[in-house]
Structure 1
Amino acid sequence: MTAWWALALYLIFAALGFGWRSWRQHRATGSTGFRGTTGRPGSLEWIAGVGFPVGIAIGVAAPLLQLADLVAPVTSLTSGLIQGIGLVTALAGIAATVYAQNEMGDSWRIGVDDTETTTLVRTGVFGLVRNPIFTAMLLFSAGITLLIPNPVSIAGFVVLLTAIELQVRIVEEPYLARVHGSDYKAYLTGVGRFAPGIGRARA
């Protein structure tokens, strides 16, 4: 049953975090918010952009492979308590993703376009964490990994974590520093990267 739960949660996550949010963005701005990958193939920027959907795809494959009896959960991680924590964590990740996306307003997008300038959002949850959407997505992925702790789901989480780290450090932060200058530098020193107070830049 846990594999079916994981699949259902991925469908909800995709429908709300990508489908519904993109539809809202298009209604408000005329753009879906999808910007694609940056950098030449093989570069760290490109790896970051490609790694994100690959991590999601591996995560979706995990429950499918488990249902097909091609992979099995790690025995030591299959207790009801751990899986219950995973379910609650995944649901929290979905809710937090939708909330943070809403807080970003019209500035929401997936990827970076160097030709555009969006508003630097620093209020609400963005006043606590610089990348709350990515934090929420990692929370969701971690919850799924606890719910179905098989080797594929663990690999998916690692790929997603790596892609997000690269995207933030190599693509997002340099872009925002170029566009917003001193305002963003002040934001870097005052607000943590993925968790409150952690990952702040030195003044």
Structure 2
Amino acid sequence: MSFYQIFLPIATLLYLLLVFVLRSVILWKQTGVNPFVFGKSEKAHDYIGRVYKLMVLFTWVSIGCYSFFPSVYDYLQPIDYLENELLRFSGLMLLIISFIWTSIAQYQMSKSWRIGIDYNEKTKLISKGLFKYSRNPIFLGVLISYLGTFLIIPNILSFSIMLTTYVTIQTQVRLEEEYLETVQKGDYVEYKKNTRRWL
């Protein structure tokens, strides 16, 4: 196995466990609130939550084939002209940057962090730290991670995952903005004026 075949599944597992699972458990124990708020209804918000789960599953399929089933990986249609050491190394750096960036943003968001929108709760508006430079640093970190994964394993499936995740996150961000304008009112409107959506 190559370095990247070993690194990618380990890094992805640690990213999910440390950034999302562990952080959720810690927040749950601190506040008694489950930060995972996607439901099972047919509303757009909950539908997005199901799309996220599918993208995580397909990401594992892509990584699993690359690392453990090379003969199956060929069926994912690798994009040959993107398979070079410079792009793989760039993907590696993006994954590391994404992990650090997202971890810092989650720490700064503290007890206001949620996976999805809790329409029955008003959390504190965070506008300091990384949130001074991006209204959505956690989503930005997630997008960077998918780009990094694609650069390491450029194939049709990983490209489709990256594209679908990008569109889904863009939709989620706009739903959150509508919600925050409703509950935070003028504070959030002023924040939007001074801070860009991404960077």
TM-score (norm 1): 0.89
Alignment of 1:1-203 (within 5 A): 1=2, 2-37=4-39, 40-41=41-42, 43-66=43-66, 67-68=68-69, 69-72=71-74, 73-169=78-174, 171-195=175-199
CA positional deviation for 1:48: 2.2
CA positional deviation for 1:9: 1.4
CA positional deviation for 1:55: 1.7
Distance change in 2, residues 1:47/1:108 (3 Å): same
Structure 2 gap ranges (5+): none
CA positional deviation for 1:108: 0.6
Query: Which amino acid in the other structure matches residue 59 of structure 1?
Result: T
SS where residue 184 of structure 2 aligns? helix
CA distance in 1, matches of 2:45, 2:18: 26
CA positional deviation for 1:23: 1.8
CA positional deviation for 1:46: 3.6
SS where residue 71 of structure 1 aligns? helix
* Cα RMSD (Å): 1.5
CA positional deviation for 1:65: 2.4
Query: Which amino acid in the other structure matches residue 52 of structure 1?
Result: Y
CA distance in 2, matches of 1:47, 1:27: 27
CA distance in 1, matches of 2:26, 2:46: 27
Q: Which residue of structure 2 lines up, in the alignment, with residue 198 of structure 1?
A: none
CA distance in 2, matches of 1:82, 1:55: 22
Structure 1 gap ranges (5+): 196-203
Please say if residues 129 and 193 of structure 1, whose CA atoms lie closer than 8 Å, have aligned partners that are also in contact.
yes
Identity of aligned residues (%): 28
Distance change in 2, residues 1:129/1:55 (3 Å): same
Query: Where has structure 1 moved over 4 Å in runs of 4 or more?
Result: none
Please say if residues 34 and 111 of structure 1, whose CA atoms lie closer than 8 Å, have aligned partners that are also in contact.
yes
Query: Which amino acid in the other structure matches residue 164 of structure 1?
Result: I
CA positional deviation for 1:32: 3.1
CA positional deviation for 1:27: 2.4
More helix by percentage: 2
User: How many equivalent pairs are there?
Assistant: 192
CA positional deviation for 1:75: 0.8
